[in-house]
Amino acid sequence: MLSTDDAILRARRDLALSTFVRRLLLIIMLIVALVGPMLQGGWVSGGLLVGLLIFWMSLQARSLRLSQETAHSPMLIAAGAYQEAEEQIERSLRGFSIAQNVKLMGLHYLSLLRHAQKRFDEAVLVCHALLERRGTIESIERSTRLVLADSLLELNDLRGAHAAILGLYSHRLSLGEAMQLLVIELEYSARVGGWQEMLNNAASKIDLAEAMPGEAAARAQAFLALAAKMSGLTEMSLWLRRRAELLMDPSELIGAKPFLRELWETSEFTPSPGNPGEDTFPSE
């Protein structure tokens, strides 16, 4: 099994090699195309060029095959099949590819895998390796920064997490990424006690949370419930807490984020239909 450090080293080496091979092939093809016919005649240079094009296309096809094989990794990770995902990622990182995307995607999937395996220190290493490289595809960069921020939060590196979050503000995020960022931001703010900041524009945050997958929706609303509780907004806190409970077992929520225990510590929640509290929702 390839270790994380070895995977990073191998990816760096292969990226340099693929750049070299690509440039070399392009230069040779240009020379053969432009100069060859004048020196040798059409048959020889044409044949050589066709041969080079076929070689180039076969390398591209190999890259495409590797890329397609690795594309299943996120699904395997989501299904908890870490061993199979690791094997697929390893194949993509060990094999030669003329397209740089294959290696970059392989590294990116490795960061997702390490994050899912809760090996956060290794996830951070892979994310840094990806981000330090200039010319990384923007979508990979955004996703990598999200994984980095969450991993740093798990490692209690709040300063690093804040920097990673700030790095995302200069990007235009997709809806899915915006949802992930919201959960990360809420957790970060909860960890530093930024209750008021969490409740700013809360209605939009709740709307976004409603569109999230179950676990993320539960976490986001549990964080907001804690902020509301800390800000004395009892009715809102109880409403959000009930929503979180309906989406995920409180024991699972607390197991993943122990500071959420405070949300369930004092009063027992009893649903109070038709009895709105006195506190109001914070203004936008």
Partner 1 sequence: MEADSPQFLHVPTLLEHSVPRPSRPWVWYFGAGLLLLLILSGLTHAQGGAVAKAVDVLIALLIGGFLVLATWFSSQLARNVAVEHGKIDGISELITLRRWQEAAVAVQDVLSQPMRSPGARVQTLIYFAGILGRYHRFEEAIEVYDYLLSEYSLDERSQQAMKLGRAMSFLRNDQLFDADRAISDLRRSARRNSVDDSEGAAPMPQFSESAGLALLEMYRDVKTGHPEEAIQVFQVSKDDIRRQFGHRVADAYALAAKAYDLLNRDEDARQAFADATALSPLDELTRRYPEVQSLAVKYTPTPSPYAQPTPPPVDLSRGVLA
Longest dimension (CA), the chain: 92
Nearest-CA neighbor of 35 among 20, 46, 23? Answer: 46
- Shortest Cβ distance from residue 159 to partner 1 (Å)? 32
Q: Nearer to partner 1 by C-beta: 98 or 217?
A: 217
Nearest-CA neighbor of 110 among 98, 95, 97, 125? Answer: 125
Cα–Cα dist 193/259, whole Å:
11
Contact residues for 134 (Cβ-Cβ < 8 A; gap 6+)? none
- Shortest Cβ distance from residue 284 to partner 1 (Å)? 10
Q: Nearer to partner 1 by C-beta: 157 or 235?
A: 235
258: DSSP letter: G
Q: Nearer to partner 1 by C-beta: 201 or 254?
A: 201
Q: Nearer to partner 1 by C-beta: 86 or 122?
A: 86
Cα–Cα dist 14/202, whole Å:
46
In terms of Cβ atoms closer than 10 Å to its own Cβ (0-12, 13-18, 19+), residue 91 is middle
The CA distances from residue 223 to 71, 218, 226, 232, in Å, are 33, 9, 5, 14
Q: Nearer to partner 1 by C-beta: 1 or 38?
A: 38
83 token code pair: 């061993």
Q: Nearer to partner 1 by C-beta: 3 or 273?
A: 273
- Shortest Cβ distance from residue 103 to partner 1 (Å)? 20
- Shortest Cβ distance from residue 22 to partner 1 (Å)? 14
- Shortest Cβ distance from residue 81 to partner 1 (Å)? 5
- Shortest Cβ distance from residue 107 to partner 1 (Å)? 22
133: DSSP letter: S
Coil, strand or helix at 252? helix
- Shortest Cβ distance from residue 280 to partner 1 (Å)? 7
- Shortest Cβ distance from residue 170 to partner 1 (Å)? 20
Q: Nearer to partner 1 by C-beta: 113 or 164?
A: 113
Cα–Cα dist 153/218, whole Å:
18
Cα–Cα dist 244/217, whole Å:
7
| Cβ atoms of 202 and 281 closer than 8 Å | yes
Cα–Cα dist 81/85, whole Å:
6
Q: How many CA atoms lie within 13 A of 128 on its CB side?
A: 14
Q: Nearer to partner 1 by C-beta: 197 or 215?
A: 215
For binding to partner 1 (CB under 8 A), which residues are involved? 29-30, 33-38, 41-43, 45-46, 49, 72, 75-76, 79-81, 84, 174-175, 202-203, 206-207, 210-217, 233, 235-236, 239, 242-243, 246-248, 271, 273-277, 279-281
